[in-house]
Amino acid sequence: MHTAAAIADFRSYPLVHALTAATPLADRVHVTWADGRLSPFHLQWLRDNCPCQQCVYNVTREQVLEIVDVPEDLAPDEVRIDDQGRLCVAWQDGHQSQFDPGWLRAHAYDNASRAERLAGKPQRQLWKRDLQLPVFEYQALIEDTDALLQWLLAIRDIGLTQVRGVPTEPGSLKQIAQRISFIRESNFGVLFNVQSKADADSNAYTAFNLPLHSDLPTRELQPGLQFLHCLVNDAEGGESIFVDGFAIAQALRQEDPEAFDALCQIPVEFRNKDRHSDYRCLAPIIALDALGQVSEIRMANFLRGPFDTSVEQMPRLYRAYRRFIALTREPRFRLMQRLEPGQLWCFDNRRTLHARNAFDPTTGARHFQGCYVDRDELLSRILVLQR
């Protein structure tokens, strides 16, 4: 028979601290643990999370119960800890719920448990020009899921990686991207070819230098990961440059908080436009998460529309924008490297800004292929590999 925890999720929740007591109160149960922690669980929460096969379909492990179908004042007849250490609730309407203590502890929402979960979240590592570039071998990533996991964790936490030993046939980028998941398509294709073209539909497809930017800031959700795979690189110039946008945002926040606030508050429109498409997205350059941490940088000067803010705010926005760009140009932040055939960059497009020096197409061919994979796919893949 499945345990309650197995039914509710595909993860396992080992027993860390045993349940020692369970005391029913008016609207909650107070549970105490072997380490002395006290966790309140509201009756609504317990009933809602009942893992039995009536409440959760055991094939999909998705909930069938809707809590609104249970009276708001449903109370237990009995609350006890059984001989397997589970919390057992016998409800007044006859329903029975049993909670695995490992699962229950992992989902406790007392302050200490919540703080513990928050502290256990992955920590990003900010970097500057002296980053020890995380480099991985193609063959290992294809064959070995441990190597794959290490690569994915580096993408998640550092946001810039290089892979070497990649075949140089066009399209071979797909194999490595699909080790994570499917590729996110855009109007530029599933794979895009970065080459200088006479009929370019973006400055990316010229030989111009491209200033530090994120790709597709013109979409509501910027692509999570960007791959750039070098097939041929015989032209002079064209070096890749990267900065950690989160490190720059942090520097701006410390050195010029007024400019930082302006870039968090004032939305800017970005545009991709050609004969067949017209993408526009209005959003601030720096996005913060619910805890006030920088969660995303959105920036591409060549895709920016005219600033549209009040007359009073306009000088503030220009000052902040200039300050941000000036920071991205400071050598302390910039990692520069020329990509050789068989190498690829994989980086967090919403964090790590990338640039390209101008190249001279008369000195030789240059052909990169690129593609995108979304952050949802990266995080899902990591969770599955960590099971």
The count of chain residues that interact with a second copy, using the rule CB under 8 A, is 84
Q: Are 228 and 349 in contact (CB under 8 A)?
A: no
- The span from the CA of 221 to the CA of 189, in Å, is 17
Strand-pair partners of 137: 164
Stretch that binds a second copy, among 56-64, 75-83, 128-136, 255-263 (CB under 8 A): 56-64
Identify the residue among 74, 165, 172, 201 touching a second copy (CB under 8 A).
Answer: 201
Q: By C-beta, is 253 or 323 nearer to a second copy?
A: 323
Q: By C-beta, is 122 or 302 nearer to a second copy?
A: 302
Amino acid at 120: G
* DSSP 8-class letter at 55: T
By CB under 8 A, residue 275 contacts a second copy:
yes
CA distances from 106 to 56, 113, 313, 380, 384 (A): 19, 8, 46, 19, 18
Q: Which of residues 329-358 bind a second copy (CB under 8 A)?
A: 329
Q: Which of residues 367-386 bind a second copy (CB under 8 A)?
A: 374-376, 379-380, 383-384
Identify the residue among 122, 257, 315, 364 touching a second copy (CB under 8 A).
Answer: 315
Tokens of 285: 């350059």
Identify the residue among 14, 36, 292, 306 touching a second copy (CB under 8 A).
Answer: 306
DSSP secondary structure string for all residues of 287-328: EE-TTS-EEEE---GGGBPPP---TTTHHHHHHHHHHHHHHH
By CB under 8 A, residue 140 contacts a second copy:
no
Stretch that binds a second copy, among 39-47, 166-174, 232-240, 361-369 (CB under 8 A): 39-47
By CB under 8 A, residue 74 contacts a second copy:
no
Q: By C-beta, is 171 or 189 nearer to a second copy?
A: 189
Burial class (CB in 10 A: 0-12, 13-18, 19+), 105: buried
Identify the residue among 67, 126, 131, 232 touching a second copy (CB under 8 A).
Answer: 67
